Amino acid sequence: MRPLTRSAALSRRLFLRGTGGGLLVGSLGLHGTVYAQGAAGGGAGAERPPARPVGRVEPERETEMPVEPGRRLGYAVVGLGKFALNQILPAFGESRHARLVALVSGNRDKARAVASRYGVDAGAIYDYDGFDRIADNPAVDIVYIILPNGLHAEFATRAFKARKHVLCEKPMALTSEECEAMIRAGREADRKLMIAYRAQYEPHNVEAIRRIRAGEIGPLRLVTSDHGRILDPKDPADQWRMVRALAGGGSLYDIGIYSLNAARYLTGEEPVEVFGQIHSPPGDPRFSEVEDRCAFQLRFPSGAIANLSSSYSTASVKRIQAFGEKASLVLDPATEYEGNQLMRVSERGREQVKVKDENQFAAEMDHFAESVRHNREPRTPGEEGLRDVRLMEAIYRSAREGRPVSVEATGSVRP
């Protein structure tokens, strides 16, 4: 077959796209005008672009414009570690409702260098001792806590005392008592608390939830999810993860929480029973305080069962699968920072689901900014973090006692 010339290819494309003049013209961005041969801007409905620079009508928008910088909510990021520096700070560039206005760090030189790159005022850099002075900075609306888990509760409580709203990384805190204290502190300060469950703002996961709720795969019977990686004692970000007082637990607390949270957001139910098994290789210094592997099951009121795992000693895996009566959905990878994939599998075969990718961190920060601005409950409030911490406590107990453990079911089915 002969290749089409450029103009032939264009007319063919326009012909295929449009069934009438309106569509064809719309696709050229001319908003209802048609060319009249020879007419330069005059004549009925005729507007031919002149061959010189000239302003044109605003094109149709494909993405929402950001709100004006002065109306975006101001975030202070607490802890300039691996996740904050590599994922969160760059994501402000893609946010429409949030802006970075303050930094909190124990390393002043690093904080200064980061501040200058992100246009943060040098006067809006705080250290941990001086953190409470953030109360006097009216540009800060939201404090985003990205510290080791063992410090989340303290800094959330201090942020609420400073009358700021709080976005807190997962896992919410070390114990359910700490989580409850954080929720109380937020209520007393009349400030909002959201837990940064990014997967619930990630487009492929959001699409999977939508399809399940729409009944597309039939009644959901089984969920499986596995999250694993190698814990590296040479990586500073993994060093505190080996210390119970800072991490709270091992792979379950750090990444098994993605498997656990997924089982809850995919079923839309709260489990009534959990069963866990844990193994840590004896003599491995990485696991003297926290666990290596955890396999755990959840039973839901509808009869759905989740078979989940986490590991600090297997090659990277970040997979979620939902098996319905009619079809299944496979997210693999499910919880990467970018490049996640969604597949629909049925008797008809495997079909890749096209999902418009979007920066999940920007989406998450925008969601909270909007929740604060419009005084709405965020999708993943403190109670969501508390539920996971309670369930993880029950999973540890089950593993210790070697039997299934009943958990109080709230019975709530999510929208």
Does residue 107 bind ligand NDP (CB under 6 A)? Answer: yes
Q: Is the peptide bond before 333 cis (omega within 30 degrees of 0)?
A: yes
Does residue 80 bind ligand NDP (CB under 6 A)? Answer: yes
Instruction: For residues 312 and 279, give the distance between their C-alpha atoms in angstroms, rounded to a whole number.
Output: 11
* DSSP label at residue 252: I
Q: Would you say 82 or 414 has its CB closer to ligand NDP?
A: 82
The three state secondary structure string of 168-200 is ECCCCCCCHHHHHHHHHHHHHHCCCEEECCHHH
Q: Would you say 202 or 269 has its CB closer to ligand NDP?
A: 202
Q: Would you say 211 or 264 has its CB closer to ligand NDP?
A: 264
Part of the chain binding ligand NDP (CB under 6 A), chosen from 76-84, 323-331, 346-354, 404-412: 76-84
Does residue 118 bind ligand NDP (CB under 6 A)? Answer: no
Is 258 marked active-site? yes
Q: Quick one: the chain helix, strand, coil %, rounded to 5?
A: 40, 20, 40
Catalytic residue among 126, 253, 258, 312: 258
Least distance CB 322 / ligand NDP (angstroms): 21
Does residue 379 bind ligand NDP (CB under 6 A)? Answer: no
The single residue among 72, 97, 170, 319 that binds ligand NDP, judged by CB under 6 A, is 170
Least distance CB 205 / ligand NDP (angstroms): 13
Part of the chain binding ligand NDP (CB under 6 A), chosen from 13-21, 173-181, 235-243, 340-348: 235-243
Query: Which residues from 254-293 bind ligand NDP, rule CB under 6 A?
Result: 254
Least distance CB 72 / ligand NDP (angstroms): 22
Least distance CB 81 / ligand NDP (angstroms): 2
Catalytic residue among 170, 197, 201, 253: 170
Least distance CB 378 / ligand NDP (angstroms): 15
Is 110 marked active-site? no
Q: Would you say 67 or 392 has its CB closer to ligand NDP?
A: 392
CA-CA distances (angstroms) from residue 151 to 37, 148, 239, 360? 71, 6, 15, 24
Does residue 149 bind ligand NDP (CB under 6 A)? Answer: yes
Q: Which residue has the tokens 């302003």?
A: 55
Do the bridges between strand 342-346 and strand 328-331 make them parallel or antiparallel, or are there none, so unpaired?
A: antiparallel
Part of the chain binding ligand NDP (CB under 6 A), chosen from 10-18, 52-60, 78-86, 173-181: 78-86
Number of neighbouring beta carbons within 10 Å of residue 287: 21
Part of the chain binding ligand NDP (CB under 6 A), chosen from 47-55, 140-148, 209-217, 322-330: 140-148
Q: Is the peptide bond before 381 cis (omega within 30 degrees of 0)?
A: no
Compute the chain's Rg from CA coordinates: 25
Q: In 3-state terms, what secondary structure has residue 254?
A: helix
Indicate the length of the chain as a whole number: 415
Give the CB-nearest residue to ligand NDP: 81
Query: Which residues from 181-200 bind ligand NDP, rule CB under 6 A?
Result: 196, 198
Give the count of alpha carbons within 13 A of 117, CB side only.
Answer: 12
Q: Would you say 82 or 187 has its CB closer to ligand NDP?
A: 82
Instruction: For residues 273 and 300, give the distance between their C-alpha atoms in angstroms, rounded to a whole number.
Output: 7
Q: Which two tokens stand for residue 317?
A: 């895996």
Does residue 395 bind ligand NDP (CB under 6 A)? Answer: no
Does residue 81 bind ligand NDP (CB under 6 A)? Answer: yes
Least distance CB 105 / ligand NDP (angstroms): 3
Instruction: For residues 34 and 48, give the distance between their C-alpha atoms in angstroms, rounded to a whole number.
Output: 8
Instruction: For residues 404 and 395, give the distance between their C-alpha atoms in angstroms, rounded to a whole number.
Output: 8
The letter for the amino acid at 284 is D
Find how far residue 310's CA is from the centre of its chain.
Answer: 19
> How many residues of this chain interact with ligand NDP, rule: CB under 6 A?
22
Which amino acids are annotated catalytic? 170, 258
Q: Which residues of the shown chain bind ligand NDP in the complex (CB under 6 A)? A: 79-84, 105-107, 146-149, 151, 169-170, 196, 198, 236-237, 240, 254
